[in-house]
Amino acid sequence: MPGLKDNALPSLPRLGKQLWQYGQLMRLHRPIGTLLLLWPTLWALWIAGSGRPDPKVFLVFTLGVFLLRSAGCVINDLADRKIDPLVARTRDRPLAAGKVSPGEALFLFFGLMLIAFGLVLTMNRLTVYMAVGGAALASVYPFTKRITHLPQLVLGAAFGWGVPMAFAAQTGEIPQIAWLIFLVVLVWATVYDTMYAMVDREDDLAIGVKSTAILFGDADVYVIGILQFALIGGLIMMGDMAGLGPWYWLGVAFAAGSSFYQWWLIRDRQPERCFKAFLNNNLLGIWVFAGIFLHYTFAA
């Protein structure tokens, strides 16, 4: 037994370091992606539940957001393991730096997806069927940047898929408003992920990775502005269809202010300012959710 302890102790620091690398691979140190996935899911849960979502559904979807975003980061880095070393911002990622093997990453991805699917199995049948589509979108997204200049649309569909799933879990059906919110999220994700892609545009051009930032070219700032107008218009339609009141409209007003601030930041296309604009989208999501939450809190 003493010999067993002596052999086990030196492995503990190595295990801790490897778990740290797995956490880095899952982007636990960068929660912005989790938050951008969480906010529209919460919009949907609160509207579907008329301000009182089922606690079990809330817990499953909150945990599911974390698990799916983490799994998405793992499969993204697995797909980009030969590209990331060529980009200054990503060359230190665990797979790119050789600190995690592809086999380990694949095992981690399937583990996260299995846990997430296990949670979904506690929901109704329609939600389970919808989850299969969501898993497919999350899995194929990292590979679309090699075949199309519109990977941001696929990301938007993956990030928005939690909306109809939330309605299915909460109400047992997917009403028209669920698909309207899905489209709003699709536009929103295209906006913020294009801002994100503007940060890496020069590197992406050099290595042949496609994005809407490259597709839009010199018109990128103007196209993003148009999409932001469409986003605010979609939020207005969403509030009208859901019968939301003044608190929501105040939240949308603040969201519009965030959109203008983001547009102002990206106007000169400086990478660090584009990244700052991308991060500001978390605040936009908060404003909209705050409006929805306060409406249902004080509507009565």
- Supply 15's token pair: 């295990």
The structure tokens 């991308």 sit at 278
- In the prediction, which pLDDT does 2 show? 44
Give the span between the Cα atoms of 72 and 46, in whole angstroms: 25
Whether residue 3 has pLDDT greater than 60: no
Give the span between the Cα atoms of 2 and 125, in whole angstroms: 53
Give the span between the Cα atoms of 200 and 109, in whole angstroms: 25
Q: How many CA atoms lie within 13 A of 33 on its CB side?
A: 23
- In the prediction, which pLDDT does 10 show? 46
Give the span between the Cα atoms of 24 and 28, in whole angstroms: 6
Whether residue 300 has pLDDT greater than 60: no
pLDDT in tens, 22-69: 898 899 889 999 999 999 999 999 999 999 999 999 999 999 999 999
117 contact partners, CB below 8 Å, separation of at least 6:
131, 135
pLDDT in tens, 83-127: 888 877 788 888 888 888 989 999 999 999 999 999 999 999 999
- In the prediction, which pLDDT does 8 show? 45
pLDDT in tens, 134-158: 889 988 888 888 889 999 999 999 9
Burial 220-248 (b: 16+ CB within 10 A, else e): beebbbebbebbbebbeebbeebebeebb
Range with lowest mean pLDDT among 136-150, 166-180, 190-204, 226-240:
136-150
- In the prediction, which pLDDT does 4 show? 43
Burial 57-85 (b: 16+ CB within 10 A, else e): bbebbbebbbbbbbbbbbbbbbbbbebbe
Ordered by where they begin, the domains of the chain are: 31-298 (1.10.357.140)
